[in-house]
Structure 1
Amino acid sequence: MLTEPSVTAVGSKARGLQVLRATYGQLVPDFVVLPIADIVVDWPAVRDRCETLVAGYLAGTVDDAEYDARATGIAAGLALKGVPASQWPAASVRTSALAEDGLTDSFAGQYLTTLDCAPADITEAVRASVASLFSRAVASYARLKGMTGLEVGGSVVVQRMFHGDLTGVLFSENGRAEVELAYSAGARNTTVDGDDAESLVVSKLSALPAKLPVPRRLIEIALELEKQHGHPVDVEWAVRGGAIALLQVRPQTVAQLGYELAWDCSNIAENYPGVTLPLSYSFIRGLYSRVYPNFFRLLGVGERQIADSAHVFQNTLGYLHGHVYYQIDNWYEMVKLIPGSRHNQAFFAAMLQPARHGGPRDKAKPGLRGAIVLAALGIRLGLLMTRADARSRRFKRQFAERLNRYDSLDWRSLRADAILTTLERIRTDLLSLWATPILNDLRVMVFHGLLKTWCFGPERHADYLAYLRGLTDRASIAPLRALATLGERLRASHGTDVAAVLADPASLELVTAYVREFGDRTPDELQLENPRLGENLGSIVTLALGTSPSRAEPAAAPEIGNLRFGTAFIGRETRKAIDWRERFRFNRAQVYGLARSLYVALGERLVADGALDRGDDVFWLTEQELDAAVFGHSWDSDLRATVARRRGEYDGFAAADLARRMVGSGLVAPRSLAGDVPTGAAGELAGMGVAPGVLTAEVLVVDAFDPALDVRGKILVTSHIDPGWTLLFVQAAGVVTERGNALSHVAIIARELGMPAVVAAVGATTRLVSGRRITINGTTGAIDA
């Protein structure tokens, strides 16, 4: 073997191999380094011709055709000397150029590598490697990088061929504190050549998994090399059985500091339409980050795994120009924690209907220990499912008891610090119960997924929709029925005179009784800044007087034949879970109504103290800012200036036309946002049918809830419908929305009332005009305008 020269003579690739061999011995297959200056006749003169040619190309005085002709001439005239005979039956021949594998320029894939080279072919392979030093591909890369010159030279490495079962590349750092591998089967490293490969990421912050597709020593070596080199490294490797071969090591030229995040609002826009103010967003983010770890504890997921997923729980949401989104990839990450992840991802997508389906990166198989843990989780989940109804009934009782306790307080008599302390106690007290509603959401997801895919499938969509009808608890339509009954009683005494109702103590008591029970059911009820309908009795009276009792009665569920085995059970469990989900939705609205009352009281204190101008200014601040102001953690006490600045910013946010799916990428991903799906619709207007029936009627396009709207006999068209909007359903004949899915509140109510409904009709509010007659098909989603 030749004496080991310096990196300036042989290039980084050869020098890296020499360092690897010195550190890891026989893990590096034998090799010979052939310095170009030692094997090319009259190399100084050849090098000068090459560098002059490259410099002309980089300066633009030599075009592609001239470059190719002159480079071909130089290559044809190469004369070699001193190329030793191969010592091995097969070898790899790699170019080690002076310009490549640096910290700033990699020249990856530009220089020639010849694998499985027979002894008789070594000399020609070496010649081809030398010629690749000044190929047009290399010169083009240099021009792309803005170089004005290129040092041509280095060495050729001839190495014993290692025939692995797996070959691949390993990056010691992927920007997420993880080691990342890409690998493929076979002796030739097709991963490097760019073919499809499997991938694996391993956290640097946790113990290595018990089962890996490669020897764990390979991961350890990557970490050792990173520390030795002082920067992340890229290692090319091969494995046969348990034997490791280290084939190359190079710096990771480009730090993987950019990242991408994806957000989807297809589902959550039903609850948070349009712009949501900072207090609401900070409130809901805090709720989400608390309730989901509790849910996974209920499932039996270990504390270590929950701790490792803390960033997922804390970032389930996104706040883009004042609009609330799901950080969709993190929802898929949470689904992975549930046994049966592969099927659950499909069921999750069927329930939320994101703009694009996606999933987490593939990871290593769990191994025996992991399989045992998953089996135990699966058994526990099955037992929880069997007791879901009992848990839900217990939640209903406990929630009512605790809510009554807090409802009895008079917030107006509490100090500012006591308001926030009480709010935190409410959050802890009520949300400690919330694992049960999330378990029920999982129950909905699983049984609905089975019903849609196993029991019916896409070819029986109409039967699937019909089979969802027939809820037994009726919690979803209880506010509508109560409103219709109230309207009937008020009309009997006062006709349609709102003022007369409000002036009559007996009638007013009927209205107040309705508010006590259902006052938290209000349009956009999960946005704290929105007043509750119960705060304006005139709105309740107006809504009630416009109702028709017959429209509030549930439609009969049709008989459906030719059912697959298990459909009756699956359908019954799906409907029961939806029943509970609707009740829990109302319980959630009650929590938000309670929180609003506290924040309104806090706003009054801040106005009285001169910190704010108006009580509703409190909704322009975050929970953290209010806490800092009340408890003395803020170095900036000018709340007025913060509110004024945000009011100006949010005027622009309200006009933003954001896509259902948004993607951010870069060093700070949310700073560079782009829509990943169209915001509007082109071509034929259509949506998703979610409540059967064909209806031809006049359209009423609505962009904001108004209790005085006359939608009797009309098709209500709007961007979204949350639970509070459905109070208009006791008047409307049909509904079209731009958002939603088969499990949206609008779909559930419409099916129960026998009202045709089409959701996810992108562009409906801009392409349809009030007063126009259209026909909608609540099964197919067709809209004939």
Structure 2
Amino acid sequence: MNELSRAHLSTAGGKGANLGELMRLGLSVPDGFVVSAEAYAEHARAWELAERLAPHLATQSWEAAAAAAAELFEKGALLPGLEHAVREAYRALGAPRVAVRSSATAEDLADASFAGQHETFLDIAGEDELVSALRRCWASLWSPRALGYRAARGVDHLGVDIAVVVQRMVAADFAGVLFTVDPVAQRADRMLLEVAPGLGEAVVSGHTTGDVYRLRREPLGIDERERRVPGRPAPSDSLVLRLSRLGLDLEAHFGCPQDVEFAFEGDAVYLLQSRPITTLGAAEIEPLPPPPKLTRLQQRMLEANDNDRFPIAPKPIDQWGFRMVIPALVNAVRVLGLDIDEADERAVMDQVWREFFVLPSPRPTFRILGLPQRVAAGLRQDWLGWWETEAFGRIREACAPVDLRALDDAALLRRADHIEATTREILVKRFEGILTQLAAVALRLPVTVAVGRKRAEALMGDLVSGLHTRTSEVNLALYHLARKATNAGPEVFLAIREGHPEELRASEAGRAFLAEVEAFLEEHGHRESTGLYLSAPTWRQDPAPMWGLLRGLLDATEPPSEEAGYKRYEAAVEEVTRGIRFVPGLSGSFRGTLERLRKTIVFRERSHFDLARVFSAMQAIVAEIARRLHERGHLPSPDDIFYLTEAEIRAWLREGPPPFSEVKRLVQRRRATYGVVNGKWQKRAFEVGAEGASDSELRGTGASSGVVRGRARIIRDEREFGRLKPGEILVCRYTNPAWTPLFTLAAGVVTDTGGAASHAAIVAREYGIPAVLGAAGATARITEGQEILVDGTEGRVLLLRLGVTGEVAYA
């Protein structure tokens, strides 16, 4: 049996293949042998099993099929060669008491365990009893229970064979089952153990209630123990922890959480089985790291920055993109005068699954004392000039279009490496430039002196209003594209209005407009919709959000303008300088620092827009790799590439992928895991209750000052862009630059998440529309069409009551 591995599934069945794998790992598995699936299949053919069962299977008469199979397996003559081999193998084992276990070829898989569907016979003694148990194991493949299980899962009855595992019985003091993630509480940071005195089959079958242990995965330890029978003997903690370490090793080896049957005999730990946990349902089926505890500062940064920029959880492929960004972020933290342990940095770099983005807790160093001088020195640098004359040129060179299909695999990876190295180097300096925005902290002092603490909060936003950014340029270009659609004739207008842009190809005017769209996408098609992810399509790859924006902008009568925001900025500067005019030199210092801060913000927005080109170029490489792997028969679907890691992709291109069946199960497991991760991500980001909220009021961050009253339009994702009408208040879970063309139509903005420094806040201030961001629960609390009052100065949203019928009661 120690010659078997997972490669022998068709020969030894799921149980036998897994046990052989455990033995090859040098783990303690009771000695034994396997009666192969070919031996069963040979007897099934000799006994004409398929022909005899066909009528019953056709009518799904499971009881009749089971009875016919049981008679065959009980009375059919065994082939002499097999019976002799089984008896000889049993004698070679020493003729001990044995466990005889069924091991079907469709058993103990990642997507179906078949647990309990086939028979196991314990404490079998003697050759004749062994042969009888073998027959009964074969017959159990055709029990009504097994037939119904296969039918429910679409498994071909006649496509399944069964092997039989014969193992020496362990004189167990204790036995049971260990789950390397808790399938009951759906906890991936915890293991669940059930153990009882005697044989483990009693626990597995439910005939005995074992004691329950709940164990921490990291650091490994026993959190809780539930003694079901007071005074009953229990294994030592050291044995429990030794088994738990083995469970984690098995999980790492097999690549997914494991259901491990075990026995303790004295101080020895015997493994009786290890199979994937298939009863997790929608829970994690890959190990997930426990979420780190956040400091107050980390929590505030998370809420202010990450939720709107990354509204959905990343997929495994996105870690490739993070490798460009994380080192530059860590460097920026060190420039601040803080330190991050290199081991912690590597852990963040290597982490695949995340509940949220957060860097490890930094430690202050003496360098933090020099931060004000470094920020002041940074403000004097021309960051935008550096970007336009040097950095952007390097990005364009690295991302210049090439025929990716003409590159071999090695050249394709070298292109990715070049883009990654160039971007990482540029990002290091970019983040140093962005740190100069800390000057806003210094500006708050003269503003507070001038207007008081309460008024200062609103004025700080107004002071950075009216900025001209690349995002506003894209929004203006989109507005003009909508105007061209309006003037191009009814066939163009109606195709866009009714959401059928594919119909534009049917007319000459439509084809001419599509040429305009192509020119727009050539310049702006790298714009992202849901964050800078390799897995998130750009407008070029998925133009549906762009068409939705155009549909809404058909009703826009005025182009987006920063004029209102600029007037707000001028008024705020005048108010502050008037309040500090009695302090010699302070007004001039204030104005100079403010202008440099405004240029830094423009630099941040411009560089973000251009960096989207990097991700677009990397996405093209990923798409080409996906095409190749799919066409070579290594990947079920090109989209499955998103559930692979960078390391796996490189290894598969250089050395070849695993067997296709393993790839298929891997992708299936990763897709299920992503569903859980993204669910947690969404819940944390958008489903928390708002502090300080009441039945008629929501609280958030006043991101753009002013007050507006209007009807709410709830837009939940990019597919609904076309639903917003002029003068309505946009209510959404988050916004990012791709959403900001809607600000041309909106009278105000309310979001579940986000902060005053976000891209959406900047554009709202540019256009002079009130915005309250981070009003947790807004999309749940506000009803479509409800009249609300948005106070962007105070950061609050007032809700009018609804009528008793659910209709909105308007004042």
TM-score by length of 2: 0.53
- Looking at structure 2, the residues matched to 687 and 640 of structure 1 have their Cα atoms a distance apart, in angstroms, of 45
2:426 is matched with: 433
Which residue of 452, 462, 469 maps to 2:458? Answer: 462
What is the alpha-carbon distance in structure 1 between the residues aligned to residue 654 and residue 666 of structure 2?
18
Between the aligned residues of both structures, percent identity stands at 23
Q: Which of 507, 510, 532 is equivalent to 2:513?
A: 507
Instruction: Report if the CA contact (8 A) 2:436-2:600 is conserved.
Output: yes
Match of 1:519 in 2: 525
CA displacement, residues 585-608 of structure 1 (integer Å, 9 cap, x when unaligned): 112222111111111111111100
In terms of mean alpha carbon deviation, does 266-275 or 402-411 score higher?
Answer: 402-411
Which position in structure 1 is the counterpart of 2:654?
631
The structure-2 alpha-carbon separation of the partners of 1:427 and 1:487, relative to structure 1 and needing over 3 Å to count, comes to same
Q: In structure 2, what is the equivalent of residue 191 of structure 1?
A: none
- Return the offset for 1:767: 0.8
Superposed CA deviations along residues 501-538 of structure 1, whole A, max 9, x for unmatched, are 55534322221121111112231141222221123456
Compute the displacement of 1:633 (Å): 8.3
- Between 1:495-504 and 1:585-594, the stretch displaced more is 495-504
Task: List aligned pairs for 1:56-75, cutoff 5 A.
Answer: none
Task: For residues 629-686 of structure 1, give each alpha carbon's deviation from its aligned partner in whole angstroms, at most 9, with x where no partner exists.
Answer: 1222877873322111111222333433766599xxxxxxxxxxxx9x8688853422
Amino acid at match of 2:414: T
Matched, 1:325 2:325: no
SS class of match (2:754): coil
Query: Does residue 773 of the first structure (1) align with residue 802 of the second (2)?
Result: no
Q: Which residue of 2 aligns with 1:487?
A: 482
Task: Sort the Cα spacing of 1:538 and 1:723 in 2 relative to 1 into closer, same or farther, 3 A.
Answer: closer
TM-superposed deviation, 1:313: 3.8
Aligned partner of 1:392: which letter?
L
1:701 lines up with 2:714 in the alignment: yes
* Aligned pairs (5 A) from 1:607-756: 607-632=630-655, 638-656=662-680, 660=684, 683=694, 684-706=697-719, 707-756=721-770
Q: In structure 2, what is the Cα distance between the partners aligned to 1:570 and 1:408?
A: 40
2:349 and 2:684 mapped to 1: Cα distance? Answer: 14
Q: Which SS does the other structure have where 2:630 is aligned?
A: helix
| Secondary structure, counterpart of 2:471 in structure 1 | coil
* Residue 557 of structure 1 pairs with residue 567 of structure 2: yes
Task: Mark the CA change 1:296 to 1:270 in structure 2 (over 3 Å): closer, same or farther.
Answer: closer
Tell me whether 1:598 sits opposite 2:583 in the alignment. no
What SS does the aligned partner of 2:665 have? helix
Q: Distance in 2 between matches of 1:519 and 1:259?
A: 36
1:250-290 Cα deviation digits (max 9, x unpaired):
xxxxxxxx99642643121222112321111x124312333
After superposition, what is the alpha-carbon deviation per residue over 1:449-494, rounded to whole angstroms, capped at 9, x for unaligned? 22234433444222222212122x4323111011111111221113
Aligned to 2:324: 287
Q: What does the per-residue CA deviation read over 1:544-585, in whole Å, with 9 as the maximum and x for residues that have no partner?
A: 353226251112323132434232122212211111111111
- Say whether 1:477 aligns with 2:487: no
The 8 Å contact of residues 727 and 746 in structure 2, kept in 1 or not, is answered as: yes
Structure 2: which 5+ runs fail to align?
1-230, 232-289, 581-585, 800-811
Q: How many residues align?
A: 469
Distance 1:682 1:779, change over 3 A: closer
AA aligned to 1:493 is A
Give per-residue Cα distances to partners, 1:32-62, cap 9 Å, x unaligned.
xxxxxxxxxxxxxxxxxxxxxxxxxxxxxxx
Letter in 1 for 2:567: A
Do the aligned partners of 1:690 and 1:758 also contact (CA within 8 Å) in 2?
Answer: yes
User: Aligned pair 1:450/2:442, yes or no?
Assistant: yes
Q: 1:696 to 1:603 in 2, by over 3 A?
A: same
Aligned AA (1:494): G
Question: Is 1:407 aligned with 2:400?
Answer: yes
Paired position in structure 1 for 2:385:
393
**Closer/same/farther in 2, CA of residues 616 and 633 from structure 1, 3 Å limit:** closer
For structure 1, list consecutive stretches of 5 or more residues without a partner in the other structure: 1-147, 149-257, 342-373, 663-674
Q: CA contact under 8 A between 1:694 and 1:775: conserved in structure 2? A: yes
Paired with 2:745 and 2:390, the residues of 1 have a C-alpha distance of: 35
Amino acid aligned to 1:544: L
Partner letter of residue 646 of structure 1? R
Alpha-carbon distance, 1:609 to partner: 0.8
Alignment of 1:156-235 (within 5 A): none
Q: Deviations over 1:76-95 (max 9, x none)?
A: xxxxxxxxxxxxxxxxxxxx
The question of 1:273 aligning with 2:311 is answered yes
Deviation at 1:769, TM superposition (A): 1.3
Structure 1 residues 652 and 432: CA distance shift in structure 2, 3 A: closer
Q: Could you tell me which residue of structure 1 aligns to residue 409 of structure 2?
A: 416
Q: Report the residue type matching 1:568 in the other structure.
A: R
In structure 2, the partner of 1:70 is none
**Cα distance in 2, alignment partners of residues 519 and 337 from structure 1:** 43
- CA change 1:549–1:748 in 2 (3 A) is farther
Structure 2 equivalent of residue 782 of structure 1: 796
1:485–1:549: structure 2 CA closer, same or farther, 3 Å change rule?
farther
Contact preservation (8 Å) 1:488, 1:545: no
Are the counterparts in 2 of residues 285 and 314 from structure 1 also a CA contact under 8 Å?
A: no
- 2:776 is matched with 762
1:533 aligns with 2:539: yes
* Distance in 1 (alpha carbons) for counterparts of 2:659 and 2:600: 48
The one-letter code sitting in structure 2 at the alignment partner of 1:465 is G
CA distance in 1: counterparts of 2:798 and 2:545, whole angstroms: 34
Following the alignment from structure 1 to structure 2, what is the Cα–Cα distance between the partners of residues 768 and 784? Answer: 10
RMSD: 3.4
Is it true that 1:589 corresponds to 2:612 in the alignment? yes
- CA-CA distance at 1:426 after TM superposition: 0.7
Whether the 8 Å CA contact 1:657–1:679 is kept in 2: the answer is no
Cα shift at 1:322: 4.8
Deviation of 1:432 after TM superposition, in Å, equals 1.4
Asked if 2 retains the 8 angstrom alpha-carbon contact of 1:279 and 1:623, the reply is: yes
Letter paired with 2:434: D
**For the residues of structure 1 that align with 2:675 and 2:776, how far apart are their CA atoms?**
24
**3-state DSSP of counterpart to 1:469:** coil
**Structure 1 residue 321 displacement after superposition:** 6.3
Can you list the C-alpha shifts for 1:380-400, whole angstroms capped at 9, x where unaligned?
Answer: 66544422x1x4323323343
Deviation at 1:736, TM superposition (A): 0.6
What letter is aligned with 1:540?
M
Which residue number in structure 1 is paired with residue 251 of structure 2?
none
2:634 and 2:472 mapped to 1: Cα distance? Answer: 43
Partners of 1:401 and 1:607 lie apart in 2 by: 34
- Could you tell me whether the CA contact under 8 Å between 1:525 and 1:592 is conserved in 2? no
Alignment-mate amino acid for residue 640 of structure 1: K
